[in-house]
Structure 1
Amino acid sequence: MRSLLAGAAALALIAAAPQALAQKPTGSAGAPISINDKEYFARQGVNVMVFNDFYPDGHQTGVTVVQHGTRVAANGDLRLETSPGQWSPMPVTQTRTVDRATGTITQTLSYPDPSKDRKGFNPIIYPDLKFTYHVKVTALSGGAFRVTVDLDQPLPAEWIGKVGFNFELFPGELFGKSWLMDGQAGIFPRQPNGPVEQRAGEWISKPMAQGKTLIVAPDEDLRRMTIESRTGQLELVDGRGNHNNAWYIVRGVVPAGATKNAIEWVITPNVVEGWRYQPVIQVSQVGYAPDQAKRVVLEKDPLDTKADEVVLYRLTANGRQVAKRGAPKAFGPFLRYQYSTFDFSDVTAPGMYVVGYRDQVSHPFKIGADVFDRDVWQPTLETFLPNQMCHMVVREKYRIWHGLDHLDDARMAPTDLNHFDGYLQGASTLTKYKPGDRVPGLDAGGWHDAGDYDMRVESQIGTIWLLSKMVTEFGLNYDATAVDQKNKTVDIRVADGKDDARQQIEHGLLSVLGGYRAMGRLYRGIIEPHLSQYVLLGDVVNQTDNLPYDPKAKPDLLRGHNYGVDDDRWVFTEDNPDRELDAAAGLAAASVALRDYDAKLAAESLAAARDIYAKAKDRPKKPTDRIAALTELVLATGEGAYMSELIALKPTVIADIENSGWAVGQVINRVPDESFRRDVTAVVATYQAKLREQSKENPYGVPYKPDIWGAGWTIQEFGVKQWFFHKGWPQLTPEDYHLNALNFVLGVHPGQNNASFASGVGSKSATTAYGTNRADWSYIPGGVISGTALIRPDLPELKVWPYFWQQTEYVLGGGETNYMFLAIAAQQRAKGK
């Protein structure tokens, strides 16, 4: 449908979304929003959350608007800067009051947050400013609401004009759409533009407009919203002018002497009468093996309980051919939606298929025993892992993914340091090296930790462990990449006669064992010393000059900042027996995987695993970490002493079977103690019965507790662990769990975006991701994003936006290799292996 809408400045001909067909815009007319049982304001077509979330650096907090099923605005709160960034001061929440009688929700907050002021993970430097305030949201007619801000005391004179109420508009919904403000008008730009001005010592974009009333997207009924200030003026600012990951910001400053009603706005999101959430067809973006369980999940509006027919079509030379049809089975509510499922497990004929529901047709997917043979896990091994390799130049035909980097690694970090990215260096370096000393052996190997360029030991060892298990469990042997450690080159899609997985394991060990040789212990991590380096986007070669630090060197003015002088990365150490046991497990597993590839490196890896385990085994905070290390040492050595230790830890295994049973499952059939096998098996049976009940709580067939971020990673890890449970106790553990976990990654997950989390994999995938090339709105094939996040309390969300680490970030040490493990396991199963 096309509709002609009049604006104050122009007439625009627009294409309305399919959801608006035959639906009448009502503006603020109709039923008012009211507080529902989940403690946010709601009516059909609009929701207003008031501090249900508190994750301001992730744009999830404050006053938040969900309009026609999509989050369009968030972070409505007082801030100390016009356009704050990730390390900007943010308040601490105190009491939250829900008053249903008056239709009001009030949140009390204050500055500073003592838990983050120069301490904690990502420490923040707060100014000398202390005040308490109250953000109050009151329902009005239709979808409108009033926002007021009360301060306990007036602001100090020097802060007038600096403290303001910021309300952030999500750019991805507004690119190319119009805005109107008091006779001014414009288009929301795709990229930030000038002119710029300096505020509080920082260059930001000048306001796009100033006035009392802003109309957002007057050209689209589904996104139109009016913001009116009843106090001072509003500013419309493009926050991306000083922070790539910022949003458009509507801002009003707190006036001098103000306390009660220091800010008063009325916000009116347009509501399309009769609007309903369009059904989402969720099915694997890749497909299924013929004998695999296959289900379509339908996600629908809460009021949409009609069960229309689902049709499965096989694609032929003559078009679609009906393969199966029938009514879906109702599942019921989950999060905010109604769900139903349609089982087509009995369809086994190889071919390409689509699913039809009402007027929609899904993406194409495959049924076949060869469904995982190409283009599924292979991009992770072929492209993503090579791309992340540190201390190498990575080439792909005409393209250079990144240049030769960080040959100046690494200097010992200062003591008593809380780094801006969560690294803590204690009072001692725990080694013979003093702060500032160069630590040899760290200028080779390792992988950049996905969206960042640092190297955390857990991401290194986690990748080593998972690749090693794929080699030993599945016989992985695949060659599509040439790795030359002598010349520090990587060539993607050039075979060199060596297994790529083992070459990657070797690359990881060059870093982990390099640090162990030099320091006699593991490093905690290796990271940039300066924030200006850390936030760099683009070719990593620009982070350093690749030359060891020379205090007599002069700054490289062409590069600016600190480059060319003290740009060498720091290496941190720690005393962390849990992490050490985790590393021991990975090193032991690597020794098995490399025995027939590099016997010397395998032996060194096993020797390090033994030593690290012996020093850490009696000191872990999580005893189950010792279980995992022991099982890998049993597998690597076959020694009775390690088996005896494992048997003696039976009470620990039983006490936390969820976190220990999967590891024991690898060796349960080798355990000579019958009572150990019997008692552990009994606990596994109870645990698996519990999982069966938990997996019924949602339509996805896995225990799923949505969170702000990382739910996709958690489910992948769960799937891998369940594979090992199935290996040890096939009679108790169904295959469904690890297959359902894979399907979750490949598109069978909640929310209107049903893309595969694996970039470049499947019909539709996450091709705008939080990788090192995110500033280009691009992706790295085979990277696996964190996936659908929860906008609390009940909105699943996966936006097309490169700057949401909580939704689209790649990670090393699990995210990509857990997925790869699950896909290879499914491939082996499809082949009957």
Structure 2
Amino acid sequence: MKRGHVAALSGAALLALAGQALAAGPGLRLDPAGYLAEPGLNVMAFSDYYPDGHQTGVTIIQHGVRVAANGDLRLEAAPGQWSPMPATGARLVDPAHNSISRHLSFPDPAKDRTGFNPIVYPDLKLGYSVTVTPGPGDSVHVRVDLDQPLPARYVGKLGFNLELFPGDLFGKTWLMDKTAGVFARQPSGPMTADQGATIAAPLATGHSLTVAPETDLQRLGITSQTGALRLIDARGTVNNGWFVVRELVPAGATKNAIEWTITPHVVPGWTSPPVLQVSQVGYAPDQPKTLVIEQDAADTRFDPVQLLRITADGPQPVESGAPAAWGRFLRYGYATWDFSSVREPGLYRIRYRGALSEPFRIGADIYDRGVWQPTLDYFLPIQMCHMRVEEKYRVWHGLDHVDDALMAPVNLNHFDGYAQGPSTLTRFKPLDHVPGLDAGGWHDAGDYDLRIESQMGTVWLLAKMIEEFGLDYDATTIDETHKRVLIHQPDGRNDAVQQIEHGLLSVLGGYHAMGRLYRGIQDATLAQYTLLGEAANATDNIVGKPVPGLGTLNNGVAIRADDRLVFTEDNPARELTVAAQLATVARVLRASSPAVAADALATARTLFDRAIDRTDEIGPRVFALAELAATTGEKPYLQRLVALKPRIVNAIADTGWMLAPVFSRIDDAGFRADVTAAVATYEAGLDKAARADSPYGVPYKPDIWGAGWTIQEFGVQQWLLHKAWPQLVPTSRFVRALDFVLGVHPGSNTAAFASGVGARSVTTAYGFNRADWSYVPGGVVSGTALIRPDLPELKVWPYFWQQTEYVLGGGETNYMFLVLAARQLYAHKPSG
């Protein structure tokens, strides 16, 4: 984990700070992690780097909960994802003055009309600093100093914003001077104009605001020494907005342009309550079972744990024991308790001090129903593009996007990370209609684009599940002729096969039309891209029909139709990856869908021949060679793998699992010995990392995005390695990865990352229906993210793509694969 925010402090200075913090008593002091801290309160200043995701600036952690963030200068009262954000300069932590400051400036040249998500900046050029220092009691002083006065044309347009997280404030009250109100669950008018945008009129204006005065754990005061505060509900402008406290920068000001005192209430002696982390689903009798206890780092005592069996007469104690201290991870202290010896089927809970885990089950059939099925029952059908999707009385979405797609304009840097170069790379001219793209594919998944990696990643993992576990399941009618899906209505065909075929309709349809793979298919304008809810509302389903006033792309190209754009690229490494995935599909579908299998294999061969000598990336080369060898049985593919031995060995973390399916077919003794030695070394390193990184038994480096998807992918790769080298790769690798996703992960929110699975799961998620505070069963979110430097967070909030977004191409199918792997591992085991 990066620690750049404390790099300015020496080791001696950090030790000195730690001593000061322990000896100083109440009041904010610099913590060794580089923020102001006291028990129950942390004030961070630019420890994070993700303003687009409400994650940087002045940040308040009150009683373990992030209540405010993004304290910084903004050009908008209600900033959104594509609003201009400043470039960050030097961050200074000053132990002598107990302060933290950062220099920032407008514009940010790394984002101004360039980069992955290009932003159009105005002509403002301004440098400034934000400084935080402790005030009296539990308060903090925030000061903004400008390098030069604000240009006259920006007076009244630039202000200091502090964003208050809405989800914990609904129904709570606020006081602004002599005005009072309630934080409403939904925004409401009247509306007003603000710098060309429409915002909700301020809820109140004054010099002193108190947030949630009735609640000791949330009460927070903000007072300005320099001007008027406005309390604004930014959700009136952007659905994912927060409540914003804003003060405009006055004309002519430089030093002390903005000065606030922020005073969170702190409960004396507060400590983090213990959190019990277990699988929300439960365990097979023979499965390793480990409780992880998370508690305040200052609380170094770990009391006995009690296992309760839930009976018809209520909970009954059946086992107890002393947890083993693990040590400190992030900001908490941890202990573990192994209860693997408990194998009796039944319902259980765990009690520790006053905390109770959610109920969970032990049983040999634990993974048989309701754990992997929701992904195939619900999520994949609901995400299907170019279809009408029904579930009995409910329509999840109507027929959509059958006007796909227009060829993307050349030299286009799209707002969602797509880039079309100087050529379309096809026979089609810019904005020509490309046939063959009006069928198949899945929406990915918080928006409606079809990326090649998400489409083929889903196809490949479904094929691997058929191959590895004999996946054969029919609960859905998929009618490609009439473009209709009926959930919970079997049609006599394996749903996994039908989903594979659906994905290939899009990928191979595009390949045959254009003579190459697409990079992706995405909305043309930002207005379409930000549409929430019903997919059928995104387009009119009529090819090229003019839509007046629809908008223009960010390079000025006028788009009159609402059809999506198809992008291409010259990317031989990606072509090799797709060749490998298509080869797997050809092998798996030979019996059930021979025509589809033949098309997939022919395309795989063509892509391989075209790309193999145009990239030096070892992973895609090994992947394609191994899968083509497994499918065709042709020895030249194996011989080329042997010739790559030095590079395979040097990159074994990436290449080992790819090689695993054909390793037993390679008869070169030297190759086998050297690769096996490399796998042994790699796994030994994983053992060390799994023990040292965290108490969760998997290599885990938290970051701004939740690590659930990465850990799931790691688990699948470990399964494949275990099959080839069972003596070197323990089953605990992928089993612990599954446990992590199902609830054994850091933070106070122990919900399973798979929606609708287990006793408690993420059911407010960043899917297409996020504006309804809803979820799609079987979707899998990335999960607990990191508020830098040390707060794990999984909020109940539908607009955090970095925590609760669904995706295709692995997020959902890697999870499903792990459940089926655990089911196979523990199938038919004795239960007593």
Q: TM-score range by the shorter chain?
A: over 0.9
Deviations 1:609-663 (A, max 9, x none): 1111111112335321111121111111111111111111111210110011111
Partner of 1:748: 744
Confirm whether residue 739 of structure 1 aligns to residue 728 of structure 2: no
Among candidates 394, 410, 413, match of residue 415 of structure 1 = 410
**1:475-624 correspondence runs (5 A):** 475-551=470-546, 565-620=560-615, 622-624=617-619
Confirm whether residue 721 of structure 1 aligns to residue 720 of structure 2: no
Confirm whether residue 817 of structure 1 aligns to residue 798 of structure 2: no
Partner of 2:126: 131
**1:270-349 correspondence runs (5 A):** 270-349=265-344
Among candidates 209, 215, 223, match of residue 228 of structure 1 = 223
CA separation of 1:440 and 1:169: change in aligned 2, threshold 3 A: same
Which amino acid in 2 is paired with 1:537?
Answer: L
Deviations 1:221-278 (A, max 9, x none): 0000110000010000001000001100000010000000000000011000011111
Partner of 1:780: 776
Partner of 1:768: 764
Separation (CA, whole Å) in 2 of partners of 1:145 and 1:476: 58
Q: Does structure 1 conserve the Cα–Cα contact (< 8 Å) formed by 2:284 and 2:362?
A: yes
Q: Does structure 1 conserve the Cα–Cα contact (< 8 Å) formed by 2:443 and 2:449?
A: yes
Q: Does structure 1 conserve the Cα–Cα contact (< 8 Å) formed by 2:284 and 2:364?
A: yes
Which range is displaced more, 614-623 or 575-584? 614-623
Shift of 1:555: 7.2
For the residue of structure 2 that corresponds to 1:641, the secondary structure is helix
Q: What TM-score, normalized to structure 1?
A: 0.95
Q: What TM-score, normalized to structure 2?
A: 0.95
For the residue of structure 1 that corresponds to 2:463, the secondary structure is helix
Q: Does structure 2 conserve the Cα–Cα contact (< 8 Å) formed by 1:544 and 1:563?
A: no
Separation (CA, whole Å) in 1 of partners of 2:748 and 2:614: 46
Partner of 2:363: 368
Among candidates 103, 107, 121, match of residue 102 of structure 2 = 107
Among candidates 461, 485, 509, match of residue 456 of structure 2 = 461
Which amino acid in 1 is paired with 2:724?
Answer: G
Which amino acid in 2 is paired with 1:521?
Answer: R
Partner of 2:13: none
Partner of 1:188: 183
Which range is displaced more, 611-620 or 198-207? 611-620
Gaps in structure 1 of 5+ consecutive residues: 1-28
Partner of 1:355: 350
Q: Does structure 2 conserve the Cα–Cα contact (< 8 Å) formed by 1:468 and 1:505?
A: yes
Q: Does structure 1 conserve the Cα–Cα contact (< 8 Å) formed by 2:524 and 2:559?
A: no
Partner of 1:19: none
Shift of 1:550: 3.6
Shift of 1:31: 1.7
For the residue of structure 2 that corresponds to 1:549, the secondary structure is coil
Separation (CA, whole Å) in 2 of partners of 1:618 and 1:371: 48
CA separation of 1:316 and 1:771: change in aligned 2, threshold 3 A: same
Separation (CA, whole Å) in 1 of partners of 2:308 and 2:648: 48
Q: Does structure 2 conserve the Cα–Cα contact (< 8 Å) formed by 1:543 and 1:563?
A: no
Among candidates 192, 196, 200, match of residue 195 of structure 2 = 200
Q: Does structure 1 conserve the Cα–Cα contact (< 8 Å) formed by 2:545 and 2:562?
A: no
Separation (CA, whole Å) in 2 of partners of 1:564 and 1:773: 26
Shift of 1:594: 1.2
Among candidates 416, 421, 433, match of residue 426 of structure 1 = 421
Partner of 1:393: 388
For the residue of structure 1 that corresponds to 2:49, the secondary structure is strand
Which amino acid in 1 is paired with 2:177?
Answer: D
Q: Does structure 1 conserve the Cα–Cα contact (< 8 Å) formed by 2:364 and 2:828?
A: no
Among candidates 619, 632, 637, match of residue 627 of structure 2 = 632
Which amino acid in 2 is paired with 1:455?
Answer: L
Separation (CA, whole Å) in 2 of partners of 1:154 and 1:620: 52
Confirm whether residue 252 of structure 1 aligns to residue 247 of structure 2: yes
Gaps in structure 2 of 5+ consecutive residues: 1-23, 552-556
Deviations 1:199-238 (A, max 9, x none): 1111100000000000011010000011000001000000
Q: How many residue pairs are counted as aligned between the two chains?
A: 800
Q: Does structure 2 conserve the Cα–Cα contact (< 8 Å) formed by 1:545 and 1:564?
A: no
Which amino acid in 2 is paired with 1:818?
Answer: N
CA separation of 1:242 and 1:555: change in aligned 2, threshold 3 A: closer
Partner of 2:9: none
CA separation of 1:257 and 1:564: change in aligned 2, threshold 3 A: closer
The sequence identity of aligned pairs, in percent, is: 62
Separation (CA, whole Å) in 2 of partners of 1:314 and 1:792: 39
Which amino acid in 2 is paired with 1:33?
Answer: L
Partner of 1:827: 823
Separation (CA, whole Å) in 2 of partners of 1:674 and 1:288: 40
Shift of 1:583: 0.9
Q: Does structure 2 conserve the Cα–Cα contact (< 8 Å) formed by 1:758 and 1:783?
A: yes
For the residue of structure 1 that corresponds to 2:57, the secondary structure is strand
Deviations 1:140-171 (A, max 9, x none): 23321100000011011110011000000000
Separation (CA, whole Å) in 1 of partners of 2:625 and 2:306: 51
Q: Does structure 2 conserve the Cα–Cα contact (< 8 Å) formed by 1:555 and 1:563?
A: no
Separation (CA, whole Å) in 2 of partners of 1:710 and 1:670: 38
Superposed CA RMSD in Å reads: 1.5
For the residue of structure 2 that corresponds to 1:591, the secondary structure is helix
CA separation of 1:182 and 1:555: change in aligned 2, threshold 3 A: closer
Partner of 2:207: 212
Which amino acid in 2 is paired with 1:765?
Answer: S
**1:36-115 correspondence runs (5 A):** 36-115=31-110
For the residue of structure 2 that corresponds to 1:52, the secondary structure is coil
Q: Does structure 2 conserve the Cα–Cα contact (< 8 Å) formed by 1:769 and 1:779?
A: yes
CA separation of 1:554 and 1:266: change in aligned 2, threshold 3 A: closer
Which amino acid in 2 is paired with 1:571?
Answer: V
Following TM superposition, where does structure 1 have runs of at least 4 consecutive aligned residues deviating by more than 2 angstroms? Answer: 553-557, 562-565, 618-622
Which range is displaced more, 621-630 or 534-543? 621-630
Deviations 1:4-41 (A, max 9, x none): xxxxxxxxxxxxxxxxxxxxxxxxx9722111111111
Deviations 1:488-544 (A, max 9, x none): 000000001100001000000000000110111100000010111100011110000
